[in-house]
Amino acid sequence: MGILNVTPDSFAERGALLDPPRAADAALAMEAAGADIIDVGGESTRPGAAAVSEDEEASRVIPVVRELVKTLRVPVSVDTTKASIARAALAEGAAMINDVSGLLNDPALAGVAADGHAPLVLMHMRGRPSTMYEHAHYEHLTGEIAAELRQSVDVALAAGLPREQLIVDPGVGFAKRAADSYGVFARIHELAAALDLPILVGPSRKSFMREALGDRPAPERDWGTAAAVTAAVLAGAHIVRVHAVAEMAQVVSVAEQIRSAWTG
């Protein structure tokens, strides 16, 4: 899953792709490099980020989705926590919704996905990006993440979304200290077994890597991302969400061969 940020304040990229033709060019490059899904986001979820209004998010996301579906062969996903944005994006041809709030922000989003027959990613988070580290306290990391994701799954199922259209994301870096994020990678197989759903992992360029890499800027964390992506694939993740698609496509290909040798 290639990340296409259409925000002016992305934590991980130098410069935003707010212009639809420029965003389409970037998406086409990711597709050519091996992306299977392009995930478009119009609201920053970096730690401390302020919320964006529906009108502002729509003005960023919807024109880009409209442009992408004209040119891409791979599905377009929309990274949003708002039902209204999800509905508008699906109407423009988006095929998938990625909700980093796990339906906590707007439970009506589940019904939108059900009505649109769209797969829905449910990510684990506590609070909002501006407050999430206040909630980063765990007694039993895997058990608490799994239990809270089950609550999100139950909301989606109650809205009529078939279980086979659900994907879960343990939320690396969201309401988790660095040690918690590393713990997630060590226990992806446990989460997969506990939830019995496909797992998406999004480690790309995140700040939990500072503990290992030092205080280098986000765009310089791709080697660390490669290690995290390898760990995720070997542990059984089904989708990895990344910025550097060309490089991480190679990482995934090799990691998949190792995983096949283990399980074959």
pLDDT, tens digit, for every residue of 218-236?
A: 999 999 999 999 999 999 9
Give the residue numbers annotated as catalytic, written as ranges. 206, 241
Q: What are phi and psi of 242, to 5 degrees?
A: -140, 160
Please tell me the predicted confidence (pLDDT) of residue 195: 96
Please tell me whether the overall predicted TM-score, pTM, comes out greater than 0.85 for this model: yes
What is the mean pLDDT, run by run of 10 residues, along the chain of 264 residues?
A: 84 58 93 98 75 92 96 97 98 98 97 98 88 86 97 98 98 94 95 96 96 93 98 96 98 96 78
**Per-residue pLDDT, 15:** 47
From first CA to last CA, the distance across the chain in angstroms is 26
The pLDDT of residue 173: 92
One-letter amino acid for residue 155 of the chain: V
| pLDDT for the residue 175 | 92
Q: How many Cβ atoms from other residues are within 10 Å of residue 219's Cβ? A: 13
Give dist(CA 188, CA 80) in Å, integer.
24
What is the sign, positive or negative, of the torsion defined by CA atoms of 162, 81, 151, 145? positive
Q: Where are the domains of the chain?
A: 2-263
Judge whether 18 and 8 are in contact, CB under 8 Å. yes
CATH architecture of 2-263: Alpha-Beta Barrel (3.20)
* pLDDT of amino acid 130: 72
